[in-house]
Amino acid sequence: MNADLVIVGSGFFGLTIAEQAATELGLKVVVLDRRHHIGGNAYSEKEEQTGIEVHRYGAHLFHTSNERVWEYVNRFTTFTNYVHKVYGVHKGEVFSLPINLATINQFFRANLTPAQAQALIQEQAGELAGTDPQNLNDKGIQLIGRPLYEAFIKHYTGKQWQTDPKDLPADIISRLPVRYNYDNRYFNDKYEGLPTDGYTAWIEKMAEHANIEVRLNTDFFDESHEYSKDKVVGNIPVIYTGPVDRYFDFAEGDLSWRTIDFEEEVLGVGDFQGTSVVNYNDSDVAYTRIIEPRHFHPEREYQTEKTVVMREFSRAAEKGDEPYYPINTAADRERLLKYRDLAAAEKDVLFGGRLGTYKYLDMHMAIGSALTMFDNKIRPHFESGSSIE
């Protein structure tokens, strides 16, 4: 054992810390991942029959308004000028999403100006004006009115949560964006694009430093290797980006997550849906959306005989499933507070990333918070001996 720093998890959080520790401080870093590949959930690979890059753990779109993060990620990859847009099928018709003036005018078969559309939605939202919505269904109606809510939000959300929105807490949504213009860019961020040579090339570049050793197929809790929890904690500082409840043997109970099942299919047509993401907003199909990854890279010369699509099915995660989105019930929030206390008391171990903090983090947020942790905790520890809490 001669590492200066052990990092559990090779997702964007772990790799950002590893890269900074090696480049800025010259530390010897060992990164463990229990999976057979690096990159965490951002990992992508070529689908075998088509050669099309697929995001193995769901579509990943990079976007940020954070100047520091944008400068940082551009050290490892360039980005294409891909701009994300989403369409949705409702009652056999295709609409532009998120709800914008095109959606509204198509839906109401109208030619409303921005002001007229706004007045109409306000009037429809007035149905539950002055009431305090006790569930997601009432909240949705209060935000955008019943017609649009029932067409585009109700069943989609019901499928995401596998629960009738009448039985979901109102606080799952605080706002539903409606744009009173024809802008249908999905993200509002200043920078957006996809890594030119794919996610895996980007991720590998981050781990390229000679001082970084990545050990795949290696679980931190498996005691058969030299960097396992029992040997390392207390001897070498650890950055842990796995599930916080697992670290403490679920002592305060399990934190609950949603997962997604991906049904992948290669089709004998060059183009299945003409765009990368189509949502299915009604309850008559079980999947929430179909991804067609070739459209993430229109600049590439993919073959034109075949395409690959993924249908997404959402459900509560059970033990052994990939945890994707925190469910964040009242019980989860209570448990998380206890886990946070345990994590703070765990000497020389820092918890980070989406699993380590039980927070949904976009890639730019995971990278940004890793840069902050490096500046505030890791650099001071190695440069001036301050303790890692």
Report the catalytic residues: 175, 179, 258, 289, 312, 360, 362
Among residues 346, 359, 379, 380, the one that binds Na ion under rule CB under 5 A: 346
Of these partners, Na ion, ligand FAD, none, which one is at the site of residue 349 (CB under 5 to 8 Å by kind)?
A: Na ion
Q: Which stretch binds Na ion (CB under 5 A): 180-188, 220-228, 340-348, 354-362?
A: 340-348
Catalog residues that contact ligand FAD under the rule CB under 6 A.
8-14, 32-35, 40-42, 57-62, 219-221, 241-242, 260, 324, 353-355, 361-364, 366
Of these partners, Na ion, ligand FAD, none, which one is at the site of residue 16 (CB under 5 to 8 Å by kind)?
A: none
Contacts for 24 with CB less than 8 Å, ≥ 6 apart:
374, 379
- Are the C-beta atoms of residues 227 and 215 closer than 8 Å to each other? yes
For residue 277, count other CB atoms closer than 10 A to its CB. Answer: 22
Q: Find the shortest distance in angstroms from Cβ 55 to ligand FAD.
A: 8
Helix axes 12-25, 363-373, angle to 10 degrees: 40
DSSP alpha helix (H) spans, the chain? 12-25, 67-73, 101-107, 114-125, 136-144, 146-148, 155-161, 199-206, 229-232, 244-247, 330-345, 353-357, 363-373, 379-384
Residue whose token pair is 């670290």: 247
Q: Find the shortest distance in angstroms from Cβ 240 to ligand FAD.
A: 8
Q: Does 278 bind Na ion (CB under 5 A)?
A: no
Residue closer to ligand FAD by CB (options 12, 72) is 12
Of these partners, ligand FAD, Na ion, none, which one is at the site of residue 57 (CB under 5 to 8 Å by kind)?
A: ligand FAD
- Are the C-beta atoms of residues 121 and 144 closer than 8 Å to each other? yes
Residue closer to ligand FAD by CB (options 82, 220) is 220
d(Cα 237, Cα 387) in Å, to the nearest integer? 10
Q: Find the shortest distance in angstroms from Cβ 280 to ligand FAD.
A: 17
Nearest alpha-carbon partner for 8 in 249, 367, 349: 349
d(Cα 40, Cα 13) in Å, to the nearest integer? 9
Six-digit token string for 286: 């079980």
Residue closer to ligand FAD by CB (options 55, 155) is 55
Six-digit token string for 199: 């996610």
Q: Does 349 bind Na ion (CB under 5 A)?
A: yes
Of these partners, ligand FAD, Na ion, none, which one is at the site of residue 35 (CB under 5 to 8 Å by kind)?
A: ligand FAD
Of these partners, Na ion, ligand FAD, none, which one is at the site of residue 346 (CB under 5 to 8 Å by kind)?
A: Na ion
- Are the C-beta atoms of residues 16 and 66 closer than 8 Å to each other? no
Which residues would be at the binding site for Na ion (CB under 5 A)?
346, 349
